[in-house]
Amino acid sequence: MKRIATILAALGLTLGAGMAAGQDLGEMEYMETCASCHGAGGTGDGPLAELMTVEMPDLTMIAANNDGEFPMLEVIQVIDGRTGVRGHGYPMPIWGQRFEQDAEPMGGPYGAELIVRGRVLVLAEYLASIQQ
């Protein structure tokens, strides 16, 4: 329990420092993990998009394509990818698994899951914020 509390405290310090610097953590995460395919603006025009076997979706139109509602849970599941809900034809990485591998040495199995869920959530919240 103490280990998880330490991890949460470290995350809180990291989150607070990022916000104090005026940086949006969701946007930072997006630019690091998603922009190479989906583009900096989320419109599907990233530098790697032309190399993909499927067309990159316009992530700014998720709500518009869903009767004006942003499907937060579905977006979280697609980003995470570990639940079987996969993004656009399967070439999308399983980010939950990748985030877990990154976090495991730092947080152990339970702390790693908290980190994974935080990273997935900030990505989903960022995508909700860029809807047209």
Residue 76 confidence (pLDDT): 93
List helix spans (H) across 65-94: 72-80
Query: Residue 89, Cα to own-chain centre: how many angstroms?
Result: 18
Q: How far apart, in whole angstroms, are the C-alpha atoms of residue 66 and residue 123?
A: 18
132 — pLDDT class (breaks 50, 70, 90): very high
- Position of tokens 């034809």? 89
Residue-range domain boundaries for the chain: 2-129
Question: Does pLDDT of 126 surpass 60?
Answer: yes
Residue 39 confidence (pLDDT): 97
Question: Does pLDDT of 95 surpass 70?
Answer: yes
Question: Does pLDDT of 13 surpass 90?
Answer: no
Q: Can you read off the two tokens belonging to residue 105?
A: 């040495």
Q: Which residue has the higher pLDDT, 15 or 27?
A: 27
Q: Can you read off the two tokens belonging to residue 78?
A: 């697609």
Residue 105 CB coordination number (10 Å): 8
Residues 86-112: what's their mean pLDDT?
Answer: 74
Q: For residues 56 and 45, is the Cβ–Cβ distance under 8 A?
A: yes
* Closest to 38 in 3D by CA, of 82, 78, 85, 96: 78
Q: Tell me the whole-structure pTM to 2 decimals.
A: 0.76
